[in-house]
Amino acid sequence: MTERRDPMWIEVLVHVALLLAVAFALYPVLWVVSAALSPTDAPEVSAFPFPRDPSLRHFAAVVGTSDAEGRWLFGWQLFNSVVIAAATALTAIAIATPAAYAMARFDFVGKRGSTRALLATQMFPGVAAAIPLYLLLNFVHLLDTRSALVLVYATTAVPFAIFQLRGAFEGIPKDLEEAAMVDGATRFGAFVRVVLPAARPALAITALFAFMTAWNEFILAATFLTSEEMYTLPVVLQRYIGEYDAQWPAFAAGAILVSVPVMLLFYALQRHLVGGLTSGGVKG
């Protein structure tokens, strides 16, 4: 039996629609790239965002930023962002993995209430807790430190990671663990050797989301950090937009530089994206 194909004109319309959608999505990105490559301090206004004489001087100005003492500020700021985002992701995975496994596999007193409490924490924006968090961090002398941001970001990353990983663990058949324990493995051994490898896509995507959340956060970082060498990259970008002046080409160059690490992470973890996002959607 031959497979029925759609008429040629329908396929052409579908491809045209897809090309228009891609062009619509890429047009703002082209504007950012054009502004970053502009040879002047003001971006050129044109319907077709292609610079006539592209220049990398704005990238050089952003990367080569230094303070009065000659320290390479951009290097320290990049280091701050990487350390804070990576520490947040590792903290979220380390705490959420056993908690999510317990919620997926065991029945205990307060299980339903704790689930609702975790869900409630996701209903409040982080900026709503900025003042009490500032007072607490000031009391323990952690203001203007990387540890402060890791602690603050982890308070929102951990509940999200628990919900994400709980669905992934529930999607892994219990028969696999029981078979391992029949062969002599302990509960912990079955968890390490069977469950964690099966949940690797979910762990990867959850860590990626936690990393991105910490990497892109601005309001709390701008509130708790005061010295330039402790700034994260989103705070640095804000400095190019003043009350009376805006350095749009430098801002665009900085935005591209900030996006590069995230794009590299997406490229490295792309084979885990589909499996991680759909984990827990179908139970075995």
Domain residue ranges in the chain: 8-55, 63-277
Contact by Cβ (8 Å): 60, 254: no
- Could you give the 3-state DSSP secondary structure of residue 31? helix
Beta bridge partners of 72: 66
Phi then psi for 72, rounded to 5 degrees? -80, 95
In order along the chain (284 residues), what is the average pLDDT of each group of 10 residues?
66 89 88 86 72 85 82 90 95 94 84 77 77 91 93 90 88 86 87 88 89 92 91 90 82 91 82 55 42
pLDDT of residue 168: 87
Q: Which position has the token pair 């230094």? A: 66
pLDDT of residue 91: 95
pLDDT of residue 282: 42
Contact by Cβ (8 Å): 231, 80: yes
Token readout for 163 is 């919900």
- Could you give the 3-state DSSP secondary structure of residue 66? strand
Helices (H), 106-194: 111-121, 130-139, 146-170, 174-182, 187-190
Handedness of CA 199, 205, 208, 210 (dihedral sign): negative
Token readout for 74 is 């951009």
**Within 10 Å of residue 148's Cβ, how many Cβ atoms?**
24
pLDDT of residue 280: 43
Rounded Cα gap, residues 258 and 255, in angstroms: 5
Contact by Cβ (8 Å): 183, 121: no
pLDDT of residue 83: 96
Rounded Cα gap, residues 199 and 192, in angstroms: 10
pLDDT of residue 3: 56
Q: Which of 192, 171, 173, 189 is nearest to 181 (CA)?
A: 189
How many residues in total does the chain contain? 284
pLDDT of residue 275: 54
- CATH of region 63-277: 1.10.3720.10
Return the amino acid letter for 34: S
